[in-house]
Amino acid sequence: MSLSNASAAASVRKKSLRAAPYWITLTFVPLVLLAVLQGGWTILLIPFYGWILMTILDSFLGPDASNPDADTPDSELLWFRVLTWIWVPIEAVLLFGTIWYLTHHSNHSTLEIIGIMFGIGVTTGTVGIVYAHELFHKTNRFEPILGDILLAMVLYGHFRTEHMLVHHPHVGTPRDTVTGRYNEGFHRFFPRVLKRGPGSAWRAEAAMLARRNLPATSLRNPIWKYLALGAVMLALAFLVGGWLGIVLLVFQAFIAIWQLELTNYVEHYGLTRRYLGDGKYEPVRPHHSWDSVHQISNLLLINLQRHADHHCHPTRRFPLLQSYSPDEAPQLSHGYPLMTAMAMIPPLWRRVMNPKVRQWRRQFYPEIEDWTPYRNLSFPAPTGAG
C-alpha cells in the first residue's frame, strides 16, 4: 500500500491499542550495556539500531495510518504511561552508571569512551527527550516533574518553556525559534537555535510573569528550577566521575540536544502560517507540520511523527495521536531516522524537501503569489508573543 493510500484508509481502519510494541525503546538498554562493558565494534550498534535498522524495518513493514479511538480514557492507557515513567530511573542508571564505570573501572581507549558517550547521547536524545516531551505536555503535576528530570539530564531544561510557550502558539511565525526556514540548512539552523533558545524562553516566562505583576527574576520563574536541576545533574556527575564525569555528561547532553534539534528542524521545515495583518496569524492547522505514518519509527518515537495531530491536540497521549491524509497535512517520504540523517547533508535535503515545500504552497495557499515576506521573516512577530 502506498503512503497516500494508507493515509486515506485511516478514516475506515481503527487501530487496536497495544502497549507492548512501544516498549521497543527499552531495547536501547542492552545495547548501551553491551557497548559499555565490551567496547570495540559493539559501540556502533547503538547508532546502527536507531538510524539504519529502524529505517530498514520502516521500508519492509511499511506505513500504518490506522487511527485509535481518540476518546479512549486514561484508565485504559496505563501501560503506555508506565513506559514513559520508568524511563526516568532507567536513564539515570544508564547515564550515571556509565560515567562511574568509565571513570573508575574501564580500560577503554579515549576513542571508545567518546563513542560510548555518543551512543548514550543518541539514547537520551532519541528516547529521553522524546519521553520528556510526552510527559511535560500533561496537565497533572506528576508527569511534568518527570519530564523536567529527563531534560535536566541533558542540561536543556529551558526546552520545556520554549516548546510550550513559544513553539506551540507561534509555530510557523517569525517568533518561533525552531521552525526551520525555507532554504536554511541544518548547520545554520542548529547554532541559531542554541544561541537564541535560552533567551527566547526567558522572554516568554518574563511575559507570563508580567501579566501577574511579577518581575522576571521572581522565584516563580521556572527557569530557576531548570537551572537548579541542571546543577544537580552536574554535581552528580562530579560525585561519580570527578571533572571527567562532568565532561562526559556535557558531551552526551550535546549529542542529545543535536538529536532533538534535528527533529525540530524536520518537523516544520519551510512551513509557515498565513499572516492576517495587525500582528495576527491564522490558527495552527494540521498542514503546518510534516507528518509521517511510518510504522516502526513511530513505535520507537512513541508517535512523535504523527506531529500534525500533536499540534492540534497538544495534551493528547501518544497512543491516541491521529494520522492525516495528504489532503490535510504534508507527508514526509520517510521516517525521522532517515530524514534527520538527510538533514545533515543540506544539498541532499534541499533537493528532496524544497520541491515538497513548493508543492505545499501550491496546495494550501494557491492565492499567495509572493512568498518573499515569509522567506525573509519581514512580517512582524505575533502580537503579545513576548
Q: Which amino acid is at 74?
A: D
Please name which of 45, 134, 43 lies closest in space to residue 83, comparing C-alpha atoms: 134
**Is the Cβ–Cβ distance between 80 and 20 less than 8 Å?**
no
CB atoms within 10 A of CB 70: 12
Q: Where are the alpha helices (DSSP H) in the chain?
A: 3-8, 28-38, 45-47, 54-61, 78-104, 110-123, 130-136, 142-152, 159-161, 168-170, 186-210, 222-268, 295-300, 307-312, 336-343, 346-364, 372-375
Give the pLDDT of residue 375. Answer: 87
Phi, psi (rounded to 5 degrees) for 17: -90, 115
Please name which of 173, 43, 15 lies closest in space to residue 120, comparing C-alpha atoms: 43
Q: Who contacts 141 (Cβ-Cβ below 8 Å, separation ≥6)?
A: none
Radius of gyration of the chain measured on its C-alpha atoms:
21
Angle at 289 between CA 284 and CA 291, to 5 degrees: 135
pLDDT in tens, 186-239: 999 999 999 999 999 999 999 999 999 999 999 999 999 999 999 999 999 999
Paired strand residues for 67: 14
Q: How confident is the prediction along the chain (386 residues), in pLDDT tens digits per residue?
A: 344 444 444 444 566 799 999 999 999 999 999 999 999 999 999 999 999 999 999 999 989 999 999 999 999 999 999 999 999 999 999 999 999 999 998 899 999 999 999 999 999 999 999 999 999 999 999 999 999 999 999 999 999 999 999 999 999 999 999 999 999 999 999 999 999 999 999 999 999 999 999 999 999 999 999 999 999 999 999 999 999 999 999 999 999 999 999 999 999 999 999 999 999 999 999 999 999 999 999 999 999 999 999 999 999 999 999 999 999 999 999 999 999 999 999 999 999 999 999 999 999 999 999 999 998 888 898 987 77
CA distances from 96 to 6, 260, 372 (A): 43, 21, 49
**Is the Cβ–Cβ distance between 246 and 261 less than 8 Å?**
no
Pairing of strands 275-277, 280-281: antiparallel
Residue 19, all three cell numbers: 502497549
pLDDT in tens, 132-148: 999 999 999 999 999 99
Where exactly are the structural domains of the chain? 3-375
Give the pLDDT of residue 384. Answer: 76
Give the pLDDT of residue 92. Answer: 98
Paired strand residues for 294: 63
Give the pLDDT of residue 385. Answer: 72
298/296 Cα distance (integer angstroms):
5
Q: DSSP characters for 369-380? A: ---HHHHTT-SP
Please return the burial class of 106, using the count of CB atoms within 10 Å of its CB with bins 0-12, 13-18 and 19+: middle
Give the pLDDT of residue 89. Answer: 98
